[in-house]
Structure 1
Amino acid sequence: MAEARELAVRWADLLDGAVAPTLTRAQVEDLLARFTPGLIAAVRGTGDATVARDAAAALVAANYRDPLAVYRSVMLICGELFQSTYPNTAAPDYLDARDRAVAVAAEFAAAFTGDLRTAALAEQETTLAAALTAAREAEARRQLSEARFEAIFTGASVGIGTIDITTGQVVDVNAAMAETLGVPAELMPGRSVAEILGPANIGHAFEEFQRLLSGEVDRFRVETEHTRPDGGHATIDLSMSVVRDGDGKPRFLIGVTVDITERKLLADRLWHDAHHDSLTGLPNRLLFLDRLASAEPPVGLCYLDLDGFKDINDLRGHTAGDRVLREVATRLLGTVSAVGGMAARIGGDEFIVLVDRCDADELAKLADEILAALAVPFEVDGQPMVVGASIGTAVAATAPTAADDLMHAVDTAMYRNKSQRGARQSYGPRGR
């Protein structure tokens, strides 16, 4: 359809300059056009949001590895795609559609992170295999293979170093290894690994290195934090292996390092975006359910639904409504953090609070404190307004095994409180 094709063209425009893809511009548009109908349907609620995962996998396969590609794609889904699909903010399912757009963007970001990591690790494995193969050939066919190894060793974009297996001292390192560790290459040969790393970096990776030297293991691979001599920090993917001669005798150790700092930061940011509400910054339903699964009993839940919030959207507009939701989140955090609880937004104007090791009396007190915090008037376009709230509570005496049943119980309690309109359920809008 024309709408989906136009969206694919706009998407291709946004991706220009983010990376050098393996496809032509026309091929990129055709690729994106395979997914835009499904993305539009997912936002409308007539399709499955997992189409975003297929789109992310296709972009990674086409060599889109730059963080800009993720950022611009997420902005397209939450911006132009959503706005073109729901141009009328008064549409009855506008808020639900906005949540669906955020869910589609989260699916895309999470899949992109996973596929990017898988692709990067596969490339690293290939490089390590090539380095090990070349190193073994250097012993078996010295005259021919040493030249190959030297070319790989010197020109590799990943760090490569060799270590004497009897002394544990560095034999040689390439420029990429020196850059990763922040130590000049000429200062490393003849020094022990412990001396080069320094006390701040002697940890789990060094323990594995000692096991390698002692012969307990033939190889290991770890992700480790490294502090450079200049105070800079890096996250390093480190692989080390024993290189043996034709008779199986250990000859030396070879290590390969890849600086994954930026990739780790991107993965962390994408994970955060996929597990938090974009409007309020609170944990979303996905992170809440993960936290619920590991909660320590007795587990207390407060299910919170705002009363009269639709009136704010109708009378003041969605921008004002968004400001109220952000302020509600701030007040919830201020109240819940005092008891070590977790507050999450699970959709629209619905929030939920989880507290570990909480009995019924403590939970009732917390619910009152939440309602008291929300009773303070909100400033909306210069005018005070009180947003009412209904709260349902439930306590699980044992570790939750059926999250759906517990959620249903607390949801039912909330709606029962809403219908009763008791003192702990709703304050209503402020009179003038």
Structure 2
Amino acid sequence: MGARELAVRWADLLDGAVAPTLTRAQVVTLLSRYTPGLITAIREGGDTAIAREIAAALVAANYRDSLAVHRSVLLICVGLLDADYPDPAAPDYFPARTRALQVAAEFAAAFTADLRTAALAEQETTLAAALTAAREAEARRQLSEARFEAIFTGASVGIGTIDITTGQVVDVNAAMAETLGFARETMPGRSVADILGPQNIGHAFAEFQRLLSGEVDRFRLETEHSRPDGSHSTIDLSMSVVRDGDGNPRFLVGVTVDITERKQLADRLWHDAHHDSLTGLPNRLLFFDRLATAVPPVGVCYLDLDGFKEINDERGHTAGDRVLRDVATRLLTTVSAVGGMAARIGGDEFIVLVERCGADELAKLAEEIRTALACPFEVDGQQVTVGASIGTAVAETAPAVVDDLMHTVDTAMYANKSQRTPRQAYGPRGR
């Protein structure tokens, strides 16, 4: 697929996502600046920084919803890969697939970070405007109070003022009341502790107390909030002391932004970037992150399915995908019983990690995995079987060089494969 064709297909996929600042032709032009570098990164292992540049450009163009990210990740991981590498059995398929996953993960992470930066910048602008208007109210009361009231009432973010001597709410705007889940008219005159309730008294309230005592002048944090109706949200909260011309504290102003959807989007992006889209298991990136922090002794099982290529060739990739999903389900059930982690690292290769695991326990687990995978799999009303060559290794200390440990289990797996007879290794049934 060429750079121009990729840009046009990408623009087609982005149709329907909110981006009022650009026409479709402008979107194609924008993407065309980056698609050559993106193709190079996947085909030749170029610099994945191109993914961060594309994410920044899309956020700057006002693509702010999950649809844009979801479709972009699918295009990178599936559309472009399938177009350039149609044969999964080709020797260059899995290296390209790994590079595509790395580029997609880089894109998703950068998009989330840029989206957060843009949202926080908007919040900072609102807070700065509110603080400026509040300070001017003391010096130029009539004009400044009118400006503050306009900002206070019409702002889309929540704004509230608090008496610094009593800790009671003076006033809140409609957005603040909606964020916290209260009727606006019920909040003035009540203490912050009373409004929040015991379920929400935590780190944010501790920072608020430091603000009241004069220990700090401002704070900002994200906090989980439970509303009176039982619903939950994530709030970005900023609070500052407003002082008069002589520097004496007059009142507190708080700004809240409901970031629940943004956090959920970030969580979804993280999950998509760290899990295999076919089986739902953790992918290579998440596995190596977990391995780097695993508590020793660390047991690792490396699995390669025997006979899977024959199933793909004779019954098609749809049947092969079904088998891979069923293998993942059985593997997850077996490994979860010992608190381990199962991941798919590509093709028909899976890997298992168990913390605090000795050699005997790991050997027993490997045998349980073989037993679990020995039962036939049903595909389109017929039964097929696959074998599993398993290599194991135990690291008694935290693995300083992950590649060495992976080389050990890889060698053990191929040694196991060479010992298995063709009848043990594979063979479709029910034909």
Task: Report the TM range for the smaller structure's normalisation.
Answer: over 0.9
Equivalent position amino acid for 2:426 in 1? G
1:405 — aligned with what? 404
Is the CA contact (8 Å cut-off) linking 1:418 and 1:426 kept in structure 2? no
Aligned residue type for 2:368: E
- In structure 2, what is the equivalent of residue 383 of structure 1? 382
Alignment-derived partner of residue 40 in structure 1: 39
Report the alpha carbon displacement of residue 208 of structure 1 after superposing the two structures with TM.
Answer: 1.4
Report what 1:136 is aligned to: 135
Structure 1: 5+ residue runs without aligned partners? none
Counterpart Cα distance in 1 of 2:317 and 2:36: 27
Provide the TM-score with structure 1 as the length reference: 0.93
Q: Give the equivalent residue in structure 2 for 1:187.
A: 186
How big is the shift at 1:104? 3.4
2:277 aligned with 1:278 = yes
Aligned length: 430
Residue 300 of structure 2 is matched in structure 1 by 301
The offset of 1:81, in angstroms, is: 3.0
Structure 1 segment 21-420 matched on structure 2, within 5 A: 21-45=20-44, 47-87=46-86, 93-94=92-93, 97-98=96-97, 100-420=99-419
Distance (Å, rounded) in 1 between the aligned partners of 2:399 and 2:97: 30
- Tell me the CA shift for residue 46 of structure 1: 5.5
Shift of 1:235: 0.6
Give the drift of 1:126.
2.0
Task: Return closer, same or farther for 1:212/1:426 CA change in 2, 3 Å cut-off.
Answer: farther
Equivalent pair of 1:102/1:278 in contact (CA under 8 Å)? no
The alpha-carbon deviation at position 308 of structure 1 amounts to: 1.6
Secondary structure of 1:290's match? Answer: helix
Per-residue deviation, 1:88: 5.7
Shift of 1:37: 2.6
- In structure 2, distance between residues paired with 1:16 and 1:49: 25
Secondary structure of the corresponding residue to residue 337 of structure 2: helix
1:372–1:88 distance in 2 versus 1, CA, 3 Å: closer
Distance in 1 of aligned mates of 2:374 and 2:87 = 31
The answer (yes or no) to whether the contact 1:12–1:25 under 8 Å persists in 2 is yes
User: Which 5+ residue runs of structure 2 have no aligned equivalent?
Assistant: none
Deviation at 1:419, TM superposition (A): 2.1
Instruction: Note closer, same or farther for the CA distance 1:89–1:401 as it changes in structure 2 (3 Å cut).
Output: closer
Secondary structure of the residue aligned to 2:148 is: helix
Q: What are the superposed Cα offsets for residues 308-359 of structure 1, whole Å, 9 maximum, x if unpaired? A: 2111111111111111111111011010000000001111111111111111
Identity %: 82
Query: 2:316 is aligned with what amino acid?
Result: G
What is the rounded CA distance, in whole Å, between the counterparts of 1:384 and 1:93 in structure 2?
31
- Which SS does the other structure have where 2:228 is aligned? coil
CA distance in 2, matches of 1:227, 1:171: 22
Shift of 1:219: 1.3
In structure 2, do the counterparts of structure 1 residues 315 and 108 end up closer, same or farther at CA, with 3 Å as the change threshold?
A: same
Distance 1:398 1:381 in 2: 46
Opposite residue 113 of structure 1, the aligned amino acid is T
Deviation at 1:422, TM superposition (A): 8.0
Residues 75, 428 of structure 1: alpha-carbon distance in 2 compared, 3 angstrom cutoff: closer
Tell me how far apart the structure 1 counterparts of residues 364 and 424 of structure 2 sit (CA, whole Å). 16
Are 1:17 and 2:16 an aligned pair? yes
Q: Distance in 1 between matches of 2:211 and 2:182?
A: 23
Q: TM-score, normalised by structure 2?
A: 0.93
Residues 307 and 425, structure 2, Cα contact 8 Å, conserved in 1 = no
